[in-house]
Amino acid sequence: MTSNVSAQGRYADAFLAGVLATVVATPCTAPFMGAAVGFTLTQPTPVSLLVFAMLGAGMALPVLVLSCFPNAIRMLPKPGPWMETFKQVMAFPLFATVIWLAWVLGAQAGNDAVLALLAGLLVLAIGAWVYGRWAHSESLARLAFAAAFAAAGLWLAWPGADAKPGEVRAEAARAGEIDWQPWSPERLAELRRAGTPVFVDFTAAWCVTCQVNKLVALNREEVVRALAERGVVALKADWTNYDPKITAALAELGRNALPVYALYLPGESAPRLLPEVLTASLVLDELSKLPAAKPAATANLSSR
């Protein structure tokens, strides 16, 4: 099918190449564009179309520049042995991605799942080594051994369905970090009835923006101190595994993508939604609008 489409002309070939690049790049860029796409889906149609048009223009920018300035092609490096080195170097970011995904799997299904994944990858590597070691051999044994190792590796590495929706391995709070409590609609309603300010973090282990915000904005000494001084209870709604309750809560807030940060203040019916990309100063500015908590209330909250 690809060859038939390509044979129809250079325009069809260029269109097909663009479609292929988009399909291949989407899984890699999705964690970084989650906040932008989540924002776009809540905007009017003209704004949404403009954002998606800009995303497309950004992906096509190198081709657009070369189309407008054809002489710039001379500045591009000539093909040569360096391309093989470049290909090998680009494997290391992929290895780093595997490390991150293994961490996400650990948050979903525990260390046993990570061990199975690494064992499966090891067996897959042996299969690839067998295939490449005897690359010039025409024996069917080479293909059979490589296929057997590949099948065994996939069987070992395939993540099981042990993790149920909403079940995520809880992490103990470390010194200097926010002491998160598990989110639930009942817990949120209880705190709001008591007139307690609540900060809800809708997050997931696979959300890159969430992890960056946690590192650069939330787990900062001044933010942790401000939450405690104003008696704010921090709830974490972890969507690492699909949870229909969290999905419903996001829909009520008019959101369908992560991250989402909601600050519920006493006396206000609707929460204040913070931007998807946080800074410590932005969070502190929102918290500064709250009065300081009474010492007794602060002690009761910290003891929970």
Q: In what order do the strands lie in the sheet with 260-264?
A: 181-182, 233-238, 198-203, 260-264, 272-274
Tell me, what DSSP letter sits at residue 78? Answer: P
pLDDT at residue number 168: 55
The rounded distance, in Å, linking the Cα atoms of 195 and 301 is: 13
Q: Does the pLDDT value for residue 173 go beyond 80? A: no
Task: Give the least confident one: 131-135, 218-222, 267-271.
Answer: 131-135
The rounded distance, in Å, linking the Cα atoms of 146 and 141 is: 8
Choose between 258 and 43: higher pLDDT: 258
Q: Tell me if the pTM is above 0.85.
A: no
The sign one gets for the Cα dihedral 241, 177, 259, 266 is positive
Q: Does the pLDDT value for residue 295 go beyond 90? A: no
With beta carbons less than 8 A apart as the criterion, state whether 202 and 234 touch.
no
Q: Name the token pair of 293.
A: 């908590």
Choose between 105 and 42: higher pLDDT: 105
| Length reported for the chain | 304
pLDDT at residue number 56: 83
Return the SS3 of 210. Answer: helix
Q: Calculate the average pLDDT of the chain.
A: 83
- E-only strand ranges, the chain: 181-182, 198-203, 233-238, 260-264, 272-274
Q: State the average pLDDT over residues 287-303.
A: 63
Confidence tier at 161 by pLDDT (50, 70, 90): very low
Confidence tier at 234 by pLDDT (50, 70, 90): very high
Using a pLDDT cut of 70, give the percent of the chain over it. Answer: 84
pLDDT at residue number 149: 86
pLDDT at residue number 299: 46
CB neighbours of residue 96 within 10 Å: 10
Q: Does the pLDDT value for residue 284 go beyond 50? A: yes
Q: Does the pLDDT value for residue 103 go beyond 80? A: yes
Q: Does the pLDDT value for residue 54 go beyond 60? A: yes
Confidence tier at 34 by pLDDT (50, 70, 90): low
Q: State the average pLDDT over residues 55-63.
A: 84
Instruction: Indicate the CATH number of 181-302 among 3.40.30.10, 3.40.50.300, 3.10.20.30, 3.10.20.340.
Output: 3.40.30.10
With beta carbons less than 8 A apart as the criterion, state whether 263 and 285 touch.
no
Tens digits of residue pLDDT in 131-157: 888 877 777 888 888 889 888 888 888
Q: State the average pLDDT over residues 109-134.
A: 87
Which amino acid appears at position 295 of this protein?
A: P
Which residues pair with residue 262 across a beta bridge? 200, 273
